[in-house]
Chain A
Amino acid sequence: MAESAATPAESRPPGTAGTAVEKPPAGEETREWEPVIVGFLCNWCSYAGADSAGTARMVHPTNVRIVRVPCSGRVNPRFVLRAFQRGADGVLISGCHPGDCHYSTGNFYARRRLLLLKGYLEYLGIDPRRFRTHWVSASEGQKWAEVVRSMCEEVKALGPAPSLGNLV
């Protein structure tokens, strides 16, 4: 457990909230295994929500590698498929609450796409607990911390995602 985003958002270069930590190289696994979760956060709500969790010094796990996107509607399902393929143990997508999209409707489109993706991932044999979608607004730092904590616990309990068989 470590503090995430402990520095005020303004003093950091943009796009560095929750900076990723490298997985320990194979053979040096002396530490306890930690899941790698890739998070796609919309710039206007969830990324700001994660920031507010940080500025409020809420303690939550640092397993989520955050990718800031302009809108949850920007999340191409391929992002998620690729993340799992390249070894992510979980993928988290978070955006503005329906109706609150900065671009009015982006997250409504995203919702349709992600609903299909959810069913599809399970169909492809990926445990649905490894893929989560949430609506987190800019003021919901508390919720963000809770989402991350519960997802980390769950994925940690599941263990590493089964390898799909990459060359590396």
Chain B
Amino acid sequence: MPNNPTLDKNMTETETALRREAARLLSQGEVAVFLGHEEGWDGVPVPFAASTAAEAGRLVWNPLSAPHLAKYLLDRLEGDEKVGIVVNGCGSLALDRILKDRRFPRERLHVVGIPCSGMLDPARVAALSDEERERVLKDGPVDPGLFLDRCSWCDVPNPVVSDTLLSEPLPVVRHRPEYPRVAELEAMDREERAEYLRGLYERCIRCFACRNVCPACNCRECCLDQWEPLWLGRATSPAEQQMFHFIRAFDVAGRCIRCGECERVCSVGLPLMELNDKFLKDITELFGVERPHIPADVEPLGCFEPGDPDLEDHG
């Protein structure tokens, strides 16, 4: 069952509450820095680290506050200062991913949570005409196609990690994840699929934005950066291009939160989640994990059942 994302009508009040709360945390010294969004040059919210109460006044919360912030915690591993961060439902999954992977101490965090009923895709909104954009951002109604892909299956409107909630929790309707894009690919011939993937990943410019934005790609040193062993050759040959993405997807298998941030930041528009979704789908089918994108205390690949499906080939 698909989700029906909507825009929160009270975002302006939430934004005011966010600024107030961040200013309080900063001025009372509870946190040394607060991670949120500020308005970028083209009006779209961009990640922002406020370090004074005055700077907290620049924080924004609006229908385009899509970028997740948890990954920025890894820039602040040094020292012991406390960090404030704002998260909505899916943003909290990203944060939880980093916490469950034990990459940032929970006790150094103050999490401000905002229940969320949907966020727009900044790129899709940017493609609208000026009047249309104005209308959408002011009072809607909003075409469901303008929301982020992740909103269409989200059933985590309320933050799973938070110290302060800025508004009332929203009702939760659980539904089974579906993976239509994987099914589409699986329906192709194997050769056709190989050809498709080859053509697809040839377009990659190897900027690593997908990896850098991914909350599950949080290793101390990324294998793709290593020289010894050389997991990824530096040549942008078709084989290496594919290997980059095949490795990237497998390395987050069982830990991907299905946020799709990788796709959102891809400057050449690669449908990267086609690979990640394959793992999510298979994890459900093989191991019976119903919502594999929700961070768990023990990940699907960090455990086993003696009765897991048989692996041995007979031939």
Contacts and interface: CB of A to CB of B under 8 A. Distances in A.
Interface of A: 77-78, 81-82, 85, 98-99, 105, 108-109, 111-120, 122-127, 129, 132-135, 150-151, 154, 162-167
A77 B252 CA distance: 12
B283 A124 contact: no
B242 A133 contact: no
Contacts of A166: 237, 239-240
B278 A119 contact: yes
B239 A112 contact: no
A95 to B, nearest CB: 10
Interface of B is mostly: helix
B287 interface: yes
Interface stretch (B82-90, B119-127, B187-195): B187-195
A112 B243 contact: no
Contact of A133 (B194, B231, B313): B313
A111 B239 contact: no
B278 A123 contact: yes
A46 B221 CA distance: 32
B279 A116 contact: yes
A60 B303 CA distance: 36
Interface of A is mostly: helix
A103 B295 CA distance: 27
A165 B238 contact: yes
Contact of A125 (B191, B283, B300): B191
Given A125-B195, A164-B239, 16 more contacts: A82-B243, A85-B242, A108-B304, A111-B304, A111-B311, A113-B301, A116-B282, A116-B286, A122-B190, A125-B197, A133-B311, A133-B312, A165-B239, A166-B237, A166-B239, A167-B240
Interface string B219-247: 00001000000010101011110110011
Nearest to A97: B312
Given A116-B286, A125-B194, A105 B304 contact: yes
A43 to B, nearest CB: 19
Nearest to B196: A125
B283 A123 contact: no
Contacts of B306: 98-99, 108
Given A78-B223, A108-B304, A109-B301, A120 B250 contact: yes
A134 B246 CA distance: 24
Nearest to A151: B315
Interface string B188-222: 00110111011000000000000000000000000
